């Protein structure tokens, strides 16, 4: 019998509090006020950091007072950056309790708690009553969530008419059929990897008009390869701060990402789309 997957099997998520230690090391003592422009250099758990979040802000034209939902907010990095840059109201929804707790602390320290609301819940279970969003954004989170058809429909229904989405996500790669899918799912906590055409078809099926869909695979292979090389060079400093086990966990995760992109087990996409009607 196969053991149920746990999100903590994915080594990127081992220790949510590590960012607090990193901030202290950078000179921001525990509890001290923070500037989101500084924190955003280390709180983004996706590729190309805030450059990608700024792309979303520009592409969706997110404005002051807009109502935004981020699905799978991690440490709350993208949500804080959107709120800080635009004064939009952002709901940062996150499954993991420890990440949500740290995210909330960071948002308060950045003085953004009137703009960013953190909610710890599985997106599939979350109720929003009659709340509708102008924009829904998500970075590298949707592939974690089972029942793709169901959550795609839910995203559509949570948007106001004409509402827009920005998604970066992992998908099946061209050699997915040859991959060890069980291992892949465990390493990435992947619960809904699909091929690119099925991904886009699923969005169109619920009523989205695709504004743009960019295959990010080769870009993300380069990014993850550089990230691994840079990380390996920080060994001494990283180990002093977080310990050898944390170093090995992160090295393992970063290496696996390079391996999975290199052998085409996985691929990546950036999508901008609009709710028709
Ligand atoms: C790779 S991280 C990205 C975090 C953030 N979007 C960023 O880019 O910094 C993906 C996040 O999605 C969260 N997540 C996974 N499944 C989820 C679910 N069903 N509902 C809400 N969040 C989920 C994970 O816990 C994780 O923090």
Model confidence pLDDT, tens digit, residues 25-44:
999 999 999 999 999 999 99
pLDDT at 13: 73
Residue 12 confidence (pLDDT) above 80: no
Phi–psi pair at 199, nearest 5 degrees = -60, -50
- Per-residue model confidence as pLDDT tens digits over 43-60: 999 999 999 999 999 999
Residue 252 confidence (pLDDT) above 70: yes
Q: Is the CB of 123 under 6 A from ligand 1?
A: yes
- Residue 241 in any domain: the answer is no
Residues in the chain: 277
Cα 166 to ligand 1 centre (Å): 15
The structure tokens listed for 114 are 């009137």
pLDDT at 3: 57
Residue 8 confidence (pLDDT) above 90: no
- Residue 235 in any domain: the answer is no
Q: Does the CA dihedral 221-227-228-233 come out positive or negative? A: positive
- Residue 95 in any domain: the answer is yes
Q: SS3 for 81?
A: helix
- Per-residue model confidence as pLDDT tens digits over 98-145: 999 999 999 999 999 999 999 999 999 999 999 999 999 999 999 999
Q: SS3 for 265?
A: coil
- Residue 244 in any domain: the answer is no
Q: Is the CB of 140 under 6 A from ligand 1?
A: yes
- Residue 259 in any domain: the answer is no
For a mutational test of ligand 1's pocket, the pick from 144, 145, 188, 224, i.e. the residue with the most ligand atoms closer than 8 A to its C-beta, is 144
Q: Which DSSP string corresponds to 11-70? A: GGGS-TTHHHHHHHHTT--TT----HHHHTTT---STTHHHHHHHHHHHHT--TT-EEEE
- Count of domains for the chain: 1
Q: Is the CB of 76 under 6 A from ligand 1?
A: no
* Whole-Å CA distances, 212 to 186, 273, 274: 30, 7, 10
Residue 187 confidence (pLDDT) above 90: yes
- Residue 193 in any domain: the answer is yes
Least confident of 75-84, 177-186, 196-205, 260-269: 177-186
- Per-residue model confidence as pLDDT tens digits over 165-184: 999 999 999 999 999 999 99
Residue 262 confidence (pLDDT) above 50: yes
CA distance 101 to 87: 22
pLDDT at 277: 72
pLDDT at 2: 46
Q: Which residue's alpha carbon is nearest to atom 27 within ligand 1?
A: 74
For a mutational test of ligand 1's pocket, the pick from 15, 18, 74, 169, i.e. the residue with the most ligand atoms closer than 8 A to its C-beta, is 74
Q: Is the CB of 173 under 6 A from ligand 1?
A: no
The structure tokens listed for 26 are 């950078």
C-alpha R_g of the chain: 18
- Residue 227 in any domain: the answer is no
Domain span including residue 92: 7-217+265-275
For a mutational test of ligand 1's pocket, the pick from 18, 41, 72, 83, i.e. the residue with the most ligand atoms closer than 8 A to its C-beta, is 72
- Per-residue model confidence as pLDDT tens digits over 215-250: 999 999 999 999 999 999 999 999 999 999 999 999
CATH code of 42's domain: 3.40.50.150
The structure tokens listed for 261 are 């992109």
Q: Which residue's alpha carbon is nearest to atom 26 within ligand 1?
A: 74
CA distance 59 to 81: 15
pLDDT at 1: 39
- Residue 45 in any domain: the answer is yes
Q: Which DSSP string corresponds to 216-255? A: -HHHHHHHHHHHHHHHHHTHHHHHHHH-HHHHHHHHHHHH
């Amino acid at each position: 019998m196969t053991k149920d997957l746990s999100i903590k099997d994915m080594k990127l998520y081992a220790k949510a509090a590590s960012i607090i230690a990193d901030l202290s090391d950078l000179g921001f003592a525990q509890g001290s006020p923070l500037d989101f422009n500084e924190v955003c250099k280390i709180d983004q758990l996706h590729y190309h950091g805030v450059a990608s979040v700024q792309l979303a802000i520009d592409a969706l034209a997110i404005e002051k007072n807009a109502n935004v939902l981020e699905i799978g907010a991690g440490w709350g990095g993208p949500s804080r950056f959107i709120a800080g840059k635009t004064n939009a109201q952002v709901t940062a929804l996150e499954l993991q309790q420890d990440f949500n707790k740290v995210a909330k602390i960071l948002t308060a320290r950045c003085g953004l708690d009137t703009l960013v609301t953190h909610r710890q819940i599985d997106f599939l279970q979350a109720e929003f009553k009659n709340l509708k969003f102008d924009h829904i954004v998500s970075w590298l989170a949707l592939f974690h969530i089972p029942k793709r058809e169901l959550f795609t429909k839910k995203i559509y229904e949570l948007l106001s008419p004409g509402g827009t989405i920005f998604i970066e996500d992992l998908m099946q790669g061209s050699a997915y059929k040859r991959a060890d899918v069980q291992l892949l799912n465990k390493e990435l906590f992947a619960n809904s990897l699909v091929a690119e055409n099925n991904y886009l078809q699923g969005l169109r099926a619920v009523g989205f008009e695709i504004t743009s869909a960019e295959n990010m695979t080769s870009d993300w292979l380069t990014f993850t390869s550089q990230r691994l090389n840079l990380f390996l060079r920080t060994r001494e400093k990283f180990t002093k701060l977080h310990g050898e086990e944390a170093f090995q966990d992160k090295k393992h995760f970063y290496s696996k990402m390079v391996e999975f992109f290199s052998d085409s087990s996985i691929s990546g996409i950036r999508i901008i789309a609009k709710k028709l009607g």
